[in-house]
Structure 1
Amino acid sequence: MSNRFNRVILIVLDSCGIGEMTDAAEYGDLGSNTIANIAKAVGGLNIPTLAKMGLGRIHPIHGVPTEPVTGVYGKMAEQSAGKDTTNGHWEMVGVRLEHPLPTYPEGFPREIMEEFEQKIGRKTIGNKPASGTEILKELGDEHMRTGYPIVYTSADSVFQIAAHEEVIPLEELYKYCETARKMLVGPHGVGRVIARPFVGSNGQYTRTANRRDYSLLFGRTVLNELQDAGYNVIGIGKIEDIYGGSGITGGEHTEDNMDGVDKTLAFMKEVKSGLIFTNLVDFDAKYGHRNDPQGFAKAIEQFDGRLPEILSAMREDDLLVLTADHGCDPTTPGTDHSREFVPILLYYSGLQTAVDIGIRDTFADLGATIAENFGVPNPGIGTSFFDRIKR
């Protein structure tokens, strides 16, 4: 049997951080510990499969036992400046962002907005940091009356455009986002431009699953190396958007976490080799940013309930990797992401013991490990821990 795995199934549990990093104070995140604080807030988590993979060994979590464990476990620190989706995901595949991406706590400069409005032929409303649900309550009715798209940002480096699907059709909204993406480069190079379509009426609005992210590209990654070597790189959820399609050979967007699990299982039946890379965003979008520890806890337990299906679908030459991209502690006062370590859990057929890979210096150790497994160059930073998981 070869030591290499023919497929890697990598699932990012978006925002499921596991404790403040050493520089958390610089980000205002002292005390953040997304998973552990959620468990404490709800009286314990019932997640037997994640527990068996070693989650409770990484950090004490109320309700999560530390025995028995059959899995490879540890946690990873982020070297990139920042604490958002872009930074975390790009570092995973070998790119360290040396400087924080620009943010706009006072809204975008007038010259940016005027140019954008001129290019799309419409005025806009909003132009301030806001919760995605609250901005719809505030400006949804005005958008319906005027047809003006809602532009807003957050503590992250994002330019978000919200529009009702019956007022501004999806394809038109996506074109607006492409226009903004071409504009926002250089000093105003935000990490992502995000389409935020919604439906509803009379003050009652709901965002739809037709979100699209338009990301900056930051260089060559392990994904590009895999693609060039002829491997499948399947992006599920917002993965393709996060990397601007670079290094992605196929995949699908998702409606929610469970749809993400369903699509992962479907691709596990179809794809013979390569990387299946999934992001499950509900933890972040529906619960972390909305300070809902109960909902967050239920979502973790729901994912744990589906994990046995994933494990049963694995072949003997598969490696399963679970991790996160940052924290978003719903028990803290703010609604922003939190600067946290992220867990890393691995499992494969024939593993019969617990393996502690400790604290990794960078998320890029994961990308380096994937590169070594597939025998492709590692174009960026990171130290492989493949020798700890060889069969």
Structure 2
Amino acid sequence: MAIFKRAILIVLDSAGIGALPDADRYGDAGADTLGHISERVGGLKVPNLIQLGLANIRPFPHLQPISNPRGAYGRCAEMSNGKDTTTGHWEMAGIILEKAFRTYPQGFPPEIIAEFERRIGRKTLGNVVASGTVIIEQLGEEHMRTGYPIVYTSADSVFQIAAHEEVIPIEELYRMCQIARELLVGDHAVGRVIARPFIGQPGAFKRTERRHDYSLQPPKTMLLDKIKALGLEVMAVGKIKDIYDGRGVTQHKLTKSNMDAVDKTLEFMDQGDQGLIFANLVDFDSLYGHRNDVEGYARALSEFDQRLPEIMGRMGNDDLLIITADHGCDPTDASTDHSREYTPLLVYSPRYQGGVNLGTRSTFADIGQTIARALGTEIEVGTSFLAELK
């Protein structure tokens, strides 16, 4: 039996809150995305998140917990092996990965690149681990001269293709990504193939908002499938549709920025549809975490915090809001990679008085199970915390 008519799940992409016990296996001992940012800037300006209970989850530098939080609060540990976007989001939906997606710290094998080049009918540049903004500065001019797409990867399980929109039209870039997605299966199944279009001239290249992710199909029935099967809407904001390869999604809105994602979330809320609104705010990760921009990350958190009353103000007693993250990306670290961290868990509904400590959840799937039970279904894994709310 459904307890709520609608759930709103907002993922602050990469907003981890401290290293998991096994973080040293991933080279992430001591990682603490939000903690280190708060320490570096002298305190995060996030009064609304603090009102929900953020500072009650654990001690944060320069932040004070409050005695009566409006929300329930806790933290989630990741059970799956990995620390990437797909792994984190899939676990929220009820898919636990025992084997992490394959990564390519030395670039992709020659036979993979050769076959990719054969299928797209042209050579490629790069095939290295690199920052997306750096590699287009390094190879963008040669790309414009030759017409060869730039292939690169990172510490995550990704095959990224960068191309200037005036050299390789966007639809052709997407076609190349689809070819790569078909190629990268089996032993070479990466989590995502990503189109990275850019514009501009040498010395002033700029990536555009027409990024597109091509994920693997989720391997089994998960939260989005279950909600859709109830006849309810699954409304995806940002890259959520891509992460699940479209599975279970009934409506979606692309976004240009974090604030645009908030706008699109509010638009879905105003529609009044029952089901799940699932939003990803990617700028925290792509613009600030991966670029080691501590001040930018802190500013983006404050910008989201200022919009939070708009979201909460549109909620009724039949709405459940959950705010969390999918991994960490500590911008104070010398690395620009994701980090293996706990994620925050903040839960709010006008029908609850708040102030409940949900503790440390053993898996992100507890979020999915809670949403499933709230809407009248269930997933295979995870423990609902609905009964703990008051």
* TM-score band, normalised by shorter chain: over 0.9
Report the secondary structure of 1:214's partner residue. strand
Deviation at 1:243?
Answer: 0.3
- Deviation string 1:317-337 (CA, Å, 9 cap, x unpaired) is 111110000000001111110
Asked if the contact 1:46–1:64 (Cα under 8 Å) also holds between the matched residues in 2, the reply is: no
Any residues of structure 2 matched to 1:281-360 within 5 Å, and which?
281-360=282-361
Asked if the contact 2:348–2:354 (Cα under 8 Å) also holds between the matched residues in 1, the reply is: no
- Deviation string 1:103-162 (CA, Å, 9 cap, x unpaired) is 111110111111111111111000011001000110011111111100000000000000
- Deviation string 1:211-258 (CA, Å, 9 cap, x unpaired) is 000001222101101111111001100000000001111111100100
Corresponding residue for 1:34? 33
| 1:7 and 2:42 are equivalent in the alignment | no
Deviation at 1:3?
Answer: 7.5
Corresponding residue for 2:175? 175
Corresponding residue for 1:115? 115
Counterparts of 1:238 and 1:183, CA distance in 2: 22
Corresponding residue for 1:383? 383
Counterparts of 1:222 and 1:364, CA distance in 2: 9
Report the secondary structure of 1:269's partner residue. helix
Query: What is the total number of aligned residue pairs between the two structures?
Result: 388
Q: After TM superposition, where is structure 1 displaced by more than 2 Å over at least 4 residues in a row?
A: 62-65, 350-353
Corresponding residue for 2:253? 252
Corresponding residue for 1:367? 368
Corresponding residue for 1:127? 127
Any residues of structure 2 matched to 1:225-244 within 5 Å, and which?
225-244=226-245
Corresponding residue for 1:190? 190
Corresponding residue for 1:18? 17
AA aligned to 2:250 is: T
Asked if the contact 1:291–1:330 (Cα under 8 Å) also holds between the matched residues in 2, the reply is: yes
Counterparts of 1:169 and 1:271, CA distance in 2: 38
Counterparts of 2:370 and 2:312, CA distance in 1: 21
AA aligned to 1:25 is: D
Deviation at 1:71?
Answer: 0.7
- Normalising by the residue count of structure 2, what TM-score does the alignment of the two structures yield? 0.98
AA aligned to 2:121 is: G
Task: Using the aligned pairs only, state the percent identity.
Answer: 57
AA aligned to 1:11 is: I
Report the secondary structure of 1:136's partner residue. helix
AA aligned to 1:199 is: I
Any residues of structure 2 matched to 1:65-214 within 5 Å, and which?
65-67=64-66, 68-214=68-214
- Deviation string 1:256-296 (CA, Å, 9 cap, x unpaired) is 10000000001100142000000000000000001111100
AA aligned to 1:41 is: R
Deviation at 1:65?
Answer: 2.3
Corresponding residue for 1:48? 47
Counterparts of 1:366 and 1:20, CA distance in 2: 20
Counterparts of 2:228 and 2:122, CA distance in 1: 40
Distance of aligned partners of 1:122 and 1:210 in 2 relative to their CA distance in 1, 3 Å threshold: same
Counterparts of 2:294 and 2:60, CA distance in 1: 14
Q: Root-mean-square deviation (CA), in Å?
A: 1.1
Deviation at 1:345?
Answer: 0.2
AA aligned to 2:48 is: T
Unaligned residue ranges in structure 1 (runs of 5+): none
Deviation at 1:351?
Answer: 2.4
Counterparts of 2:388 and 2:225, CA distance in 1: 25
Deviation at 1:88?
Answer: 0.2
Counterparts of 2:334 and 2:310, CA distance in 1: 36
Deviation at 1:314?
Answer: 1.2
Asked if the contact 1:47–1:64 (Cα under 8 Å) also holds between the matched residues in 2, the reply is: no
Asked if the contact 2:137–2:202 (Cα under 8 Å) also holds between the matched residues in 1, the reply is: no
Counterparts of 1:386 and 1:353, CA distance in 2: 12
Unaligned residue ranges in structure 2 (runs of 5+): none
- Deviation string 1:290-309 (CA, Å, 9 cap, x unpaired) is 11111000000110011011
AA aligned to 1:326 is: H
Report the secondary structure of 1:16's partner residue. coil
Report the secondary structure of 1:174's partner residue. helix
| 1:64 and 2:63 are equivalent in the alignment | yes
Distance of aligned partners of 1:37 and 1:118 in 2 relative to their CA distance in 1, 3 Å threshold: same
Any residues of structure 2 matched to 1:217-232 within 5 Å, and which?
217=217, 218-232=219-233
Counterparts of 1:97 and 1:46, CA distance in 2: 35
- Normalising by the residue count of structure 1, what TM-score does the alignment of the two structures yield? 0.97
Deviates more, 1:220-229 or 1:64-73: 64-73
Counterparts of 2:340 and 2:360, CA distance in 1: 15
AA aligned to 1:297 is: A
Report the secondary structure of 1:41's partner residue. helix
Deviation at 1:388?
Answer: 1.6
Deviation at 1:352?
Answer: 2.2
AA aligned to 1:329 is: D
Counterparts of 2:77 and 2:201, CA distance in 1: 44
Counterparts of 2:273 and 2:221, CA distance in 1: 25
